[in-house]
Structure 1
């Protein structure tokens, strides 16, 4: 009877209105409507994490999900990751009808095991997984997973929100009195309920009636997990190594213990490095030479087997094998610079696309490793996994982040620099000749810098003419589909220029629609803002700031020679808009038998506060309207 009542409650017969508030905005979200609209609902979820020793713990996850229709069957696929430090002891699953009657139970044969491939990614970690569905809806899917933890370095966090509504979620932590631990609450979380046990304490966090995680357009990565609690133990072990999280200095020293004795190079490697930098005295030039050596001689392969998720290969092995993951390649980079008598350090990072580091919570918050070279007049940050990034042109993923620089004496969090909009530029110049049928034969050059270069350059460095032409047709044909690229060339990407240049020519068939005696020309060929670039959320619906990967600047110039006997009937009005976060300028003019167009679009800030969202929407709407404007040509008798 209780399950029948629950079914009716969840399918829309709810009289009381449950409200959940986001701390970030104080916006009220009606859980009832979201539950009614959802394909699935998490009815109950509970995590029990019981720490039994300094490096031992038992983990149990139980979850009950209401599956309303076939669109929710994917929530019946469960993956349990394992490693040498986390072992799965037991998996149980059952499907019930809404009255609680068991329909079927999971068999051992339904549980599969898998390991990642060595081809481009090698983990060494195993996965147990299963898919357990039913085809009479609605039904309730319940499962339980028990794991054994052999290191508290991997203390599981709690993020109760999901992509579907959650009715009830709990995290129960049991610890001994001797264990020193800490936690950080993210968002609006009720404080834990504490209770005394025979050997220690139990802390229970609870959350009820949670709306699904917001999935807003241009949403900052740090807001995508919703509310939660981070955990850490102050002292921990990882295999034979021990460490402390009392502060970032102590955490950096733990990484030092993992890398001890791993920076040595064989004689052959040292001789090769010495030849590369012979007679070179400028340190910045030497760093550039050795960074390009790293890019030319090694390749990135992710290796995360057990402790290898944190301990790098020896530099000598990277030299021998010619591959490694981020920490391996950074270790090798630090080693070859040391041979050149240039001090460099590894730096632990959380890439910007994954969020931001909580600086007051020293713990394992990192997913990446880079290298940093502090020179007298400059500090160089090196992304060692990229084969095509120029020195000094760091990708956006490691810009404006708090990186833990690990030195001989410990470490500290240092903010990495972020390139300005004028450094992340795209400058296009297109000239063409229009036929009476509306086809446009054109020549184009695009100069790219900063992260706009980083976004395109790797796609064109493979040197496959067929694929390159297809990519360029998609790139230049995003606004006009009937494009054929005839020829293209790329300026030397290794040259010491401040830009990466693409040159091409071809034809846009049916570029300008012909209507009787008139031709309509929209000159915005390469960069155009459309309604696809406009966030879906209204001002009232928006909860979070607007996030771009990086600030950027687009400058476009178009010149089109007109066919004979066509004159300008009308031309668009010029437009200028500027505010604290952006700028837009468009200019249309005519000279003899030629029309010309110039456009500037700049995003000055890549994180636009929620308070400016209304102004931001209006800014984009004006640009969308202007970017659609057309010249109108009319055929004349003379």
Structure 2
């Protein structure tokens, strides 16, 4: 009898153990959710409890199964904190493929870093980081954390299907506030309307999404996934570091930023004001004055990288930057504004979503989450000028592809103004290369190359200007990517007649580039600019999007040391497509071979069915770029 009881007891424990383990067993994931997924969210619960304007508790519980190494980034946990955000609790565990716990962790297992590189002005901005050390896939990480916010201006968005390689079993987002609190809510592509529960003490909104499959990444897709689920919540009345405000649109938000965060920050010391007057005393034009002050700011300051949302919205005063000589984008723009104010030159502090992808602010929904960078706008009459204040090298009035062609918010005394930054189109984004080359008897190619870079291509080789000769040569070998290439002379100049242009002049030597085969030589005339094909995209759903167009021209002349027999057939090829054009011309004049290539790619949004046209176009361009020519040599018979 006792043996039976003991057996029953252990059987019960075994069953319970297996039932618990089954919750995170990988075999329980629906097969359709594993397709194309590198990781699967088993369950996710995000709860924002706004008890009042200075006491918001964010509670998150999440279980993610990492299917393979490609999904490893989804297991990473980064928790930022500062004087407005404190981490109250973190705990978690790791489970193997069968749902059996193999490890657990809490806050003491996290690494703690400065978010700004240990610079004193920003020492309170830090990040907690945890990454499981599991090397066997698949596995599941389960964690929960609680963060207390002392401001309610930055409310995180809910975007459950933001990542294309992440499938979702279940995700929920809950926002709770007092019943009298007025909220502005924007919900896009939600599977169902929010469930709203109201009592005399609270109002709760709950959004839920289930069984969202991972999706195939389609190359050259629009920046924003058209079916992305997104919920944005912004309280109409807010508190931010003890400063209250009310925001219903961008005009109000920009006015609040100007009045409450910027107005008293341009406190230049008298010595700095005297410097401004000395710098501009002999300059007549307001734009020339602004240029001189910008270059002064570049020499005097250095940039500390920290995103707006992490470091807050409020800049440090101009006096701090004057004294310390550094700052983040907010502090440097504010400092530059202070210099301009002293010269009676008006300017706008502008919030922008920076990055290579052209992301604009949501014009229909004013909020503090949009925007990760600050730039400066100087509204000269008929000649609006934009400044990137975080670079010590960037030419005056040039933004480049980090903040070009997107809607930004200018914070002015009259209120917020939505402006668009300059666009550099395909015709302006030029790389123009000319080369005079000599082919030696042993096949070595020597000669001079001159390349100009302008528009969004200005930055292509710009950073190389400021490197030492050894590093310049090393980087040029990466840029040009030709076997056995050497650079005997390197020279750079920057001109600024009609917009900034980098001019690169090189003396090169390419050993054994031209191959001799019997009484023939084999030459690939397109040495420096061979286009690649683009990926195929069958059964495409998304439109074709080309983020930034360009124009490349390569004109090379080869002078041969040996005479060619007869005349080679000239080549003249023209390819046209809605997305661009390609022209290739090769001809012989005595012992000279002239090579001309021009490729134009036009930015824009095209129909999904046009992708095949673009694929076919680039495939033929790539094949033409790789063309080689077998030239017979004249020999004594």
SS at match of 1:567: coil
How has the CA–CA distance of structure 1 residues 551 and 72 changed in structure 2, closer, same or farther, with 3 Å as cutoff?
A: closer
Give the corresponding residue for 1:20. none
How has the CA–CA distance of structure 1 residues 242 and 109 changed in structure 2, closer, same or farther, with 3 Å as cutoff?
A: closer
The counterpart of 1:376, out of the listed 375, 381, 384, is: 381
SS at match of 1:153: coil
Structure 1 residue 611: Cα displacement: 4.7
Q: After alignment, is 182-191 or 412-421 more displaced? A: 182-191
Distance in 1, matches of 2:605 and 2:337, equals 33
Give the corresponding residue for 1:125. 125
- Verify: 1:251 aligned to 2:263, yes or no: no
Give the corresponding residue for 1:19. none
The counterpart of 1:432, out of the listed 431, 437, 442, is: 437
Distance in 2, matches of 1:278 and 1:86, equals 47
Distance in 2, matches of 1:445 and 1:181, equals 59
Distance in 2, matches of 1:568 and 1:317, equals 74
Structure 1 residue 215: Cα displacement: 4.0
Distance in 2, matches of 1:367 and 1:289, equals 27
Give the corresponding residue for 1:630. 628
Distance in 1, matches of 2:415 and 2:351, equals 12
Contact 2:221–2:542 (CA under 8 A) maintained in structure 1: no
- Verify: 1:585 aligned to 2:583, yes or no: yes
- Verify: 1:282 aligned to 2:265, yes or no: no
Contact 1:568–1:632 (CA under 8 A) maintained in structure 2: no
How has the CA–CA distance of structure 1 residues 6 and 94 changed in structure 2, closer, same or farther, with 3 Å as cutoff?
A: closer
1:58-82 deviations in Å (ceiling 9; x for gaps): 2111111234456655544322222
Give the corresponding residue for 1:559. 557
How has the CA–CA distance of structure 1 residues 143 and 475 changed in structure 2, closer, same or farther, with 3 Å as cutoff?
A: same
Distance in 1, matches of 2:95 and 2:446, equals 65
Distance in 1, matches of 2:40 and 2:374, equals 38
Contact 2:407–2:418 (CA under 8 A) maintained in structure 1: yes
Q: After alignment, is 624-633 or 295-304 more displaced? A: 295-304
Matches for 1:181-330 after TM superposition, within 5 Å? 181-187=183-189, 189-212=191-214, 215-223=217-225, 226-256=228-258, 257-302=260-305, 309-330=312-333
1:153-173 deviations in Å (ceiling 9; x for gaps): 121211112332221111122
Structure 1 residue 432: Cα displacement: 0.7
Give the corresponding residue for 2:475. 471
Matches for 1:333-372 after TM superposition, within 5 Å? 333-353=336-356, 355-364=359-368, 365-372=370-377
Contact 1:213–1:226 (CA under 8 A) maintained in structure 2: no
Structure 1 residue 128: Cα displacement: 2.6
Matches for 1:518-533 after TM superposition, within 5 Å? 518-531=520-533
SS at match of 1:504: strand
Q: After alignment, is 138-147 or 296-305 more displaced? A: 296-305
Contact 1:552–1:604 (CA under 8 A) maintained in structure 2: yes
1:256-312 deviations in Å (ceiling 9; x for gaps): 111121123222222222222223222222222222222222221135799952111
Give the corresponding residue for 2:76. 77
Contact 1:569–1:633 (CA under 8 A) maintained in structure 2: no
Distance in 1, matches of 2:540 and 2:123, equals 41
Structure-2-length-normalised TM-score: 0.88
Distance in 2, matches of 1:316 and 1:475, equals 42
Q: After alignment, is 486-495 or 241-250 more displaced? A: 486-495
Structure 1 residue 146: Cα displacement: 1.4
> What stretches of structure 2 of length at least 5 have no aligned partner?
1-17
How has the CA–CA distance of structure 1 residues 247 and 5 changed in structure 2, closer, same or farther, with 3 Å as cutoff?
A: closer
SS at match of 2:363: coil
Give the corresponding residue for 1:86. 85
The counterpart of 1:409, out of the listed 414, 419, 426, is: 414
Matches for 1:50-61 after TM superposition, within 5 Å? 50-61=49-60
Contact 2:308–2:371 (CA under 8 A) maintained in structure 1: no
Q: After alignment, is 317-326 or 298-307 more displaced? A: 298-307
SS at match of 2:356: helix
Give the corresponding residue for 2:176. 174
Q: After alignment, is 197-206 or 371-380 more displaced? A: 197-206
Contact 1:300–1:385 (CA under 8 A) maintained in structure 2: yes
Structure 1 residue 635: Cα displacement: 2.3
How has the CA–CA distance of structure 1 residues 591 and 312 changed in structure 2, closer, same or farther, with 3 Å as cutoff?
A: same
1:470-492 deviations in Å (ceiling 9; x for gaps): 1122222x2x2220101111125
Contact 1:123–1:302 (CA under 8 A) maintained in structure 2: no
Distance in 2, matches of 1:516 and 1:119, equals 65
Give the corresponding residue for 2:516. 514
Distance in 2, matches of 1:408 and 1:625, equals 57
> What stretches of structure 1 of length at least 5 have no aligned partner?
15-31
Contact 2:333–2:376 (CA under 8 A) maintained in structure 1: yes
SS at match of 2:410: strand
Distance in 2, matches of 1:304 and 1:538, equals 35
Contact 1:122–1:305 (CA under 8 A) maintained in structure 2: no
Matches for 1:395-406 after TM superposition, within 5 Å? 395-406=400-411
Give the corresponding residue for 1:21. none
Structure-1-length-normalised TM-score: 0.88
Distance in 1, matches of 2:137 and 2:321, equals 54
1:350-394 deviations in Å (ceiling 9; x for gaps): 125363211100001111111111112211111111222222322
- Verify: 1:40 aligned to 2:39, yes or no: yes
How has the CA–CA distance of structure 1 residues 107 and 244 changed in structure 2, closer, same or farther, with 3 Å as cutoff?
A: closer
Distance in 2, matches of 1:177 and 1:483, equals 71
Distance in 2, matches of 1:70 and 1:497, equals 46
SS at match of 2:156: coil
1:135-180 deviations in Å (ceiling 9; x for gaps): 6655432111112121111212111123322211111222221111
SS at match of 2:224: helix
1:236-269 deviations in Å (ceiling 9; x for gaps): 1111212222111111122111112112322222
Matches for 1:484-503 after TM superposition, within 5 Å? 484-492=486-494, 499-503=501-505
Structure 1 residue 337: Cα displacement: 1.6
Contact 1:76–1:133 (CA under 8 A) maintained in structure 2: no
